[in-house]
Structure 1
Amino acid sequence: MNADRNLITITSRPDPVFVEGQGSWLVDEDGKRYLDLVQGWAVNSLGHSPALIAEALQAQAARLLNPGPAYYNRPMLDLAARLTELSCFDRVFLCSSGAEANEGAVKLARRWGSKRRGGAHEVVSFEHSFHGRTMAMMSASGKPGWSEIYPPMPAGFSKKARLNDIGSVERAIGPDTAAVMIELVQGEAGVNIADPGFVRELSALTTERQVLLIADEVQTGIGRCGHAFAHELYDVEPDVMTLAKGIGGGVPLAALLCKERFNCFEPGDQGGTYCGNPLMAAVGLAVVNEVCRDGFLATVRQRAQRLAEGMQSLVREHGLIGERGVGLLRALVLPDDRAAQVVEAARGLEPTGLLLNAPRPNLLRLMPALTISEAEIDEALRLLDLALR
């Protein structure tokens, strides 16, 4: 198949061309159905093509698309107000992608460092972290090999600490450090979870050293971990937080949030043509209002428990290493490097395929819609069992 003959090569895609999606299901051009446990890499928090998003898009598109970022619009203001109401933060900058939000967080940290810390500008991040695909965020990420793709890389991100090792953070922080940036769950690295004690120590350390604590919740925020934000599980308050993926439910939307004392941009320091556009903000408001309800989040936690227990059964039955995760962001660890083969086998199942992700050679990542039903979880586990066999 030569479906990508007109596309710049960025990845190896399988043959199916998807034409329709509803809830937890995708359909390709041949009419085959797939139970989707990838959901755009944790983007479709309400599943494929939810009526709520279609209605929000239609209503806002008929009123106002984009007056420009130099003017207020009502959805921008309403979404910012809702996010501050839900969180410990006071200020919001809306943008389009997780990389853009994370880059904004670094800009904020450096602006704050120049004003309050004598020019501090370095950002400490973590080994195996993933913060996006802009040049700066690739440099900030701890993904092996990324520093060799586009040399020379942007400076200021050379110090990488180790997750759950507070001593490595202490050694990495220096007089030029403006911030520490952390994913509380390293999704791309294989759903590596920060230890609660480590996160509390990290919060205390950054406060003591007077550097910002930036929580990259691009993948974990807006219900993915069973709470509005993953840092709630740790009982800490970051100074800065970034959101993307699930906040838009499938449309390009992201957010940078900070506490009032770090609101240090001056007019012209930050911006973007589509920042805070009402079309995406209206969708984000609808998604956030739906997901961040107590009843909805309680159901996410229940579904997560059912999925985790089912995966633990597969671990025992197939002699796997184990499963781990938080909420509906989970990983299955295999005893060998056959994750890619399992992904291919699952996709090729007949008559119904299963879509999985293999971020590591020995690991499968599951990121189902937050609306997945108990019956769909059971079917996913059945199909995963077949693929493993």
Structure 2
Amino acid sequence: MDSINKTDNFVFQTYQRQGKALVRGEGVYLWDEDGKKYIDFLAGIAVVSLGHCHPKITEAISRQASTLVHVSNLFYTMPQADLASKLCEKSFADRVFFANSGAEANEAAIKLSRRYFQKKGEKDRFKIITMEQSFHGRTMATLTATGQDKIKDGFYPLLKGFSHVPFNDIDALKNQIDETVCAIMLEPVQGEGGIIPADPDYLFAVRQLCNDKKILLIFDEIQCGMGRCGTLFAHELYGITPDIMTIAKALGNGFPIGAMLATQNAATGFDYGSHATTFGGTPLATAAALEVMNIISQNIFLDKVHQIGEYFKGELLKLKEKHTKVVEVRGKGLLLGLEIDKDAGFFVGKLFEKGFIINGIQDKILRFAPPLIIEKQEIDKLILALDSLL
């Protein structure tokens, strides 16, 4: 029985998969079981940002796997210490909590923001405001925080203490503020919601609002962070910082790891025993992530991402000028969306047949989140294929 039949027979049917099994990857390329080669413009959903089987990441994992894999967070380990230090050095943050995924990192941020105020005696401050069309995860707290009804279908009743407002609408946000609000949580660039960047004036106003009302500001950078938008963290494009930030996906280049970063002030919400995880920040995961950070945080690397992202977006805009089926092009860096006037699934399937891996979101949006090492020649091939399909 092959991998497709075994998966269909024994794995929960929660994913609509392409009808091929992928068996190998190298750089921006993937191969299926029949030997067909694909250019990857999805990177495992903005995860494999340094490409498949990057030699330095492979070497770091292999070296650590032969040294120390897991001891629990009851002990100190050097890879975790080094990664935490590096993340704080390269960000606004003073403290890091390690988790296994983006959803877990967001869960930690939700818990931290509530406990921060409860430790101060403000027990009525528990409400978290998030954005419509946002996506924050699949746990009960994070799907409640998510601003998309389809994610919540079948899981009611949801948790109390969350409300949603339209993205990029500061008046709507202000109207939701009362004495029960402890945090505002948003993605600087909405990923699953349709590749929608925050308006600079809006994000500045949100930061000011949080300052004035003494509300914690949480940025979910799980998809848009880690170099994806051309800066190490997406909020750097806007010149403001949050109190709490969550990252995951590209942090391990495919090895599962998530992290919640916070200022020293916000971090006081947690103390001994208040939050924990068995596998968060293992020596193996943090060794992989440290090597990722060493590469992605270099200015020369980020400058290249910015340049390639601008080129890619420019080529997509040319398609918009040429084809009436293209409604809009949007995004930052190498997180780009092409909105079309018909079912995105048609294009996803046809491009897969032609040897390109992308995916569709919100029914009519093609999402492009390739490895950050993508070059112009691969982009040109995709644009040519898109042009012919349009």
Decide: shared fold, TM above 0.5.
Answer: yes
Partner SS state of residue 330, structure 2: strand
Query: 1:281 & 1:374 partners in 2: Cα distance?
Result: 32
Normalising by structure 1, report the TM-score: 0.96
Amino acid at match of 1:188: E
1:304 to 309, 323, 333: 309
What do the CA deviations read for 1:258-290 (whole angstroms, capped 9, x no partner)? 000111212111111111101000010000110
Q: Which residue of 2 aligns with 1:77?
A: 81
Q: How does 1:30-109 map to 2 (within 5 A)?
A: 30-109=34-113
Give the number of aligned pairs: 383
Are the equivalent residues in 2 in contact too, given 1:93–1:256 (CA < 8 A)?
A: yes
C-alpha displacement of 1:117:
5.8
Q: Which residue of 2 aligns with 1:168?
A: 172
Please report the RMSD computed on the Cα atoms of aligned residues, expressed in angstroms.
1.1
Query: 2:234 & 2:371 partners in 1: Cα distance?
Result: 17
Amino acid at match of 1:8: F
2:183 to 179, 184, 187: 179
1:332 to 332, 338, 343: 338
What do the CA deviations read for 1:18-71 (whole angstroms, capped 9, x no partner)? 000111111000011111111110001101111111100011111110111111
Partner SS state of residue 145, structure 1: helix
Q: Which residue of 1 aligns with 2:329?
A: 323
Amino acid at match of 1:378: D
The alignment status of 1:137 with 2:139, answered yes or no, reads no
Structure 1: gaps (5+ residues): none
Are the equivalent residues in 2 in contact too, given 1:329–1:367 (CA < 8 A)?
A: yes
C-alpha displacement of 1:301:
0.6
Query: 1:32 & 1:149 partners in 2: Cα distance?
Result: 39
What do the CA deviations read for 1:130-162 (whole angstroms, capped 9, x no partner)? 0001011000000123333211111111x1111
1:205 to 209, 217, 220: 209
Q: Which residue of 2 aligns with 1:26?
A: 30
Q: Which residue of 2 aligns with 1:150?
A: 155
Partner SS state of residue 171, structure 1: helix
Q: Which residue of 2 aligns with 1:371?
A: 373
Are the equivalent residues in 2 in contact too, given 1:46–1:371 (CA < 8 A)?
A: yes
Query: 2:263 & 2:68 partners in 1: Cα distance?
Result: 30
The alignment status of 1:237 with 2:241, answered yes or no, reads yes
Partner SS state of residue 53, structure 1: helix
Query: 2:190 & 2:367 partners in 1: Cα distance?
Result: 11
Q: Which residue of 2 aligns with 1:361?
A: 363
Partner SS state of residue 128, structure 1: coil
Q: Which moved more, 1:3-12 or 1:67-76?
A: 3-12
Query: 1:200 & 1:12 partners in 2: Cα distance?
Result: 39
Q: How does 1:247-262 map to 2 (within 5 A)?
A: 247-262=251-266
Query: 2:291 & 2:51 partners in 1: Cα distance?
Result: 14
What do the CA deviations read for 1:315-350 (whole angstroms, capped 9, x no partner)? 12222112111000000111x22211011111112x
The alignment status of 1:292 with 2:294, answered yes or no, reads no
Are the equivalent residues in 2 in contact too, given 1:333–1:362 (CA < 8 A)?
A: yes
C-alpha displacement of 1:309:
1.1
Q: Which moved more, 1:92-101 or 1:111-120?
A: 111-120
C-alpha displacement of 1:116:
2.5
Query: 2:43 & 2:174 partners in 1: Cα distance?
Result: 37
Q: How does 1:115-130 map to 2 (within 5 A)?
A: 115-116=119-120, 118-119=122-123, 120-130=125-135
Amino acid at match of 1:343: V
